[in-house]
Structure 1
Amino acid sequence: MNGHDNHDNTQYNGYNEEEFEPSDPSSSGEFSDSDSDSDSVSGTAGTGSDSGVVDVDDESIPSYFIERGGRLYHADTTSPYPLPCDGREIQRLNAQHSLLKNVFGRNYIRQDLVQEVLTDDGSMKVVVDFAHGTGRWAVEMGQQFPHVQFYGLEIVPITNREHLDNVQFELNSEISRGTRFDEGSVTIVHARTVYMTVRNYYQSIILEAGRILQTGGLYLAGEWGYPAFIGQEPHPNLAQMGLGQFFNSLSQCLAPRGITRLGRDLENLIRNSNLFNPIHVHNVWVPIGPWDPQRQEFGARMRRILRRFMSSTKPLLLESSGWTEAQINDLFAVCNTEMTSTPRLVMVFHAICAVRWRGE
């Protein structure tokens, strides 16, 4: 496939928006959550439209969840997703959504391409959000583009039951096995931080996006990489840091489930599918902790998100890492110190806008 790839490796030029931010937990290894949000969840699988999708009523919602160790998890035995689906995890997902929106200045990269394909020209516009999480991206996009029909796919009903008429949430146990949408019927597919939702073959998500996208449609994808350092050396050896040990251990725990962290490999997977051209890449780094005086708020938010993420992975580490709870708590305490005091420490988000291409 011939064509050009546009790379934009940059910091960020975000803006601030009012949002709920949880209070900063203590610095102990056991990351506590002092927020008042309960662990109850609610959602809907759709609107009972002609698609055959039916509503999930209040009485059936508990059947989609199981409780382990005081956290709620999905009860779908076919999905590899290993993290909780409770109130604390919902707060993390919402905080992550708000941070990324601030970082990029909007809910997507390549504003020109997105607004072009979603222009209200009288034709049917359909956007599908793979693994929509709390549904905030779809709802906010539905507000911005009221003439577009948005569908969010997820394994459990954790979205707010009150949403827009042009936004519908549906249950789909494993997107990589296929969706109900016809070939070439979708304008945009959005897939952000979905690598834990598929086992063994992430390319299947890319192939499904390529199948349902119309020619000229957009695949908006994004995944976090590993912690990294910016600027000139010398830097600490990340492999010898607590954060390096945490992410390495997490990868080892996910491997038996067939889950592989993507990060910078996402671009090559999309390129090698030969389904998209051109591919626009925007890699952005976000500080961890207070070291950047110009972006201390972003750094504090990134640290809180990582702390919540680590807390959500603790049951998985206890089950699969061979570490004791005390050892995990000690590791988390070391990580917290590093995130608070290590200069030039960042997380990198790899965002892609790829155009569906059908040619020779």
Structure 2
Amino acid sequence: MTRLTASPGLDLFFRSSSASLFVRPQMAIEYPRRRPPLHNDPLDMDGHDAHSDPYQSDDDDDDSNSDTSDAVVEVSADEFPGYFQERGGRLFHSHGRSPYPLPVDAEEHQRQNGLNQLLRRLIGDSSVGPVRELLVDAPGEQRRVLDLGTGTGEWVLDMAREFPRVRFYGVDIVPIATRYPPPNVTFEMHDIAEKFRYDSGSIDFVHARSISMAIRDYGGLLPEIARLLRPGGLFVSNEWARSPVMLDGSDIDIHAPSTAEFFRAVRDTLRERRGIPTIAHKIPELLQDSGHFTNVSSCPFFMPTGPWHEDPGLRELGRENRDMVELYARSMRAVLIDGPWAAQADTLIQGCINESWRVPGLGLLYHTVHARRR
């Protein structure tokens, strides 16, 4: 039996190539490495050829590599620091190669889940692009979707409920998704900077939301995404700009100087200390230049910050987003105290929070891009 200790409030579902387990304070449950195919699985009822997972390649014949093995692997308590570490009262991932800087604790879960709902309302759907057209049922075919940097897995779970006959995979460097995924969902641990173990051409739709802080070379990731996608498959990228804006295009440094300075400090520290560039506005060009994608289409969405908008719906979005901005600012403290703005970190954070309530016209840009695999 595995006994691990997690911070209060954490429910963690861990799935890797070697084991699955649920982690809760003072509790641990062992799971088989993969749920065997179920005869009454709704995904299997029509005799679809895709009971087999897209990463079950020809060299996975022996039992030690089989994804349907019934083996249970015990993870000892001293392995917990291999996934998480606590700093300054917040919980972070301990994956040494990933530059991702934000916490992975309950407060950050609240922000991720809140943003998932806000973005659906802002965009008007779960995703931009021809997703519904792509995921329509086709006789004898199994549609598959891969979500990069899935976090708490809320986007995957929403989509899985909407498309129950589609197979969804969510990957992240930390095991923070639900321990009770529906039958058409699998969560796994994986660093997106490394090669995926899925077969080439096995995925219909790759979805990436807010992964730009988890990878230093976004352009270098695109050939691997292209390898995973079948010809005509869809890639959707969603990234927040790291610069606040005014709705009327006026100078942010004049209207919200503390907010502008906070985001400037974050951008510079991410670049200088972690090698993370500001990339959201460059992704359409990267997709075009990669040579792997066609029909590249981009659309920025303006998300108000604060309850200032005349439209009631956007005013409510702004009110709720203001809370998300506060959570983000507090989470970013871990970044700022690791750079040249350490002494000013708390002042910058509080200034940004204060202005998020009282500056009309203030907001953030959410860059969305979708493209087809050639």
TM range (shorter): 0.7 to 0.9
1:206 aligns with 2:222: yes
> Match of 1:196, SS?
coil
Q: What SS does structure 2 have at the residue aligned with 1:194? A: coil
- Provide the C-alpha distance between the structure 2 equivalents of 1:220 and 1:282, rounded to a whole number of angstroms: 11
- Displacement of 1:303 in angstroms is 1.3
On the 8 A contact 2:93/2:104 being kept in 1, the answer is yes
Question: Corresponding residue for 2:324?
Answer: 305
- Secondary structure of the 1:269 match is helix
Counterpart in the other structure of 2:196: 179
Given that residues 39 and 72 in structure 1 are in contact (C-alpha distance below 8 angstroms), is that contact kept between their aligned partners in structure 2? Answer: no
Tell me if structure 2 keeps the 8 A contact 1:41–1:87. Answer: no
Q: Taking structure 1 as reference, are residues 76 and 209 closer, same or farther at Cα in structure 2, changes over 3 Å only?
A: same
Matching residue within 144, 154, 168 for 2:186: 168
Which position in structure 1 is the counterpart of 2:61?
A: none
Match of 2:259 in 1: 243
Say whether the 8 Å CA contact 2:245–2:252 is kept in structure 1. Answer: no
Decide which of 45, 48, 54 is 2:34's aligned counterpart.
Answer: 48
Output the amino acid matched with 1:302. N
CA distance in 1, matches of 2:160, 2:75: 24
Matched, 1:342 2:359: yes
Cα distance, 1:342 vs structure 2: 1.3
> Would the aligned equivalents of 2:205 and 2:235 in 1 still touch at CA under 8 Å?
yes
Indicate the percent of aligned positions where both proteins have the same amino acid.
32
1:2-17 matches, within 5 Å, as: none
Query: CA deviation digits over 1:7-59, x for unaligned, max 9?
Result: xxxxxxxxxxxxxxxxxxxxxxxxxxxxxx94423113165157545888786
2:48 is the counterpart of 1:62: no
Deviation at 1:293, TM superposition (A): 2.6
- In the alignment, the residues of structure 2 paired with residue 115 and residue 154 of structure 1 have an alpha-carbon distance, to the nearest angstrom, of 25
Query: How many pairs were matched up?
Result: 314
Matching residue of 1:128: 146
User: Structure 1 residues 103 and 57 mapped into 2: Cα distance closer, same or farther (>3 Å)?
Assistant: farther
Q: CA deviation at 1:302?
A: 1.4
Q: Name 1:158's counterpart in structure 2.
A: 176
Change (3 A) 1:57 1:44: farther
TM alignment of 1:32-47, pairs within 5 A = 38-45=8-15
Letter in 2 for 1:76: H
- Of residues 75-84 and 87-96 in structure 1, the stretch that sits farther from structure 2 once superposed is 75-84
SS in 2 for 1:319: coil
Structure 2 residue 297 is matched with structure 1 residue 280: yes
Q: Which position in structure 2 is the counterpart of 1:14?
A: none
For 1:344 and 1:57, the matched residues in 2 are separated by 54
Matches of 1:343 and 1:56, distance apart in 2: 55
2:269 corresponds to: 253
Secondary structure of the equivalent of 1:187?
strand
Tell me what 2:47 maps to: none
1:294-338 CA deviation, whole Å, 9 max, x = no partner?
1221111111111111111102211223432xx322222221222
Query: Which secondary structure does the structure 2 equivalent of 1:281 belong to?
Result: strand
| d(CA) in 2 for partners of 1:240, 1:144 | 40
Instruction: Give the superposition deviation at 1:179.
Output: 0.4
Aligned partner of 2:136 among 105, 116, 119? 119
- Displacement of 1:86 in angstroms is 0.5
| Aligned residue in 1 for 2:345 | 328
Summarize the Cα distance change of 1:58–1:98 in structure 2 as closer, same or farther, 3 Å threshold. Answer: farther
Secondary structure of the residue aligned to 1:343 is: coil
CA change 1:299–1:272 in 2 (3 A) is same
2:49 corresponds in structure 1 to none
Does structure 1 retain, via aligned residues, the 8 Å contact 2:101–2:334?
no
CA distance in 2, matches of 1:101, 1:189: 18
Q: Is 1:221 aligned to residue 237 of structure 2? A: yes
Unaligned runs of 5+ in 2: 1-6, 21-32, 36-52, 57-65
SS of 1:175 mapped into structure 2 = coil
Larger displacement relative to structure 2 (158-167 or 118-127): 118-127
1:240 Cα offset (Å) = 7.4
State the alpha-carbon separation in 2 of the partners of residues 99 and 148 from structure 1. 24
Q: Deviations over 1:90-145 (max 9, x none)?
A: 111111111101111211113xx212221111202111111101101111111111
Q: Aligned pair 1:140/2:158, yes or no?
A: yes
The CA RMSD measured in Å over matched residues stands at: 2.2
TM, length-normalised to structure 2? 0.79
> 2:284 maps to what in 1?
267
Please name the residue that 1:90 is paired with: 109
Judging changes above 3 Å, is the alpha-carbon distance between structure 1 residues 56 and 44 closer, same or farther for their aligned structure 2 residues? farther
In structure 1, C-alpha distance between the alignment counterparts of 2:162 and 2:303, rounded to whole Å: 26
**Secondary structure of 2:13's match?**
coil
- Of residues 92, 116, 121 in structure 2, which corresponds to 1:102? 121
TM-score using structure 1 length: 0.81
The one-letter code matched in structure 1 to 2:174 is V
Which residue identity does 2:121 align to in structure 1? N
Measured in 1, the distance between the counterparts of 2:112 and 2:124 equals 18
Shift of 1:193: 0.5
Q: CA deviation at 1:220?
A: 1.0
Q: Give 1:185 shift.
A: 1.2
Larger radius of gyration: 2
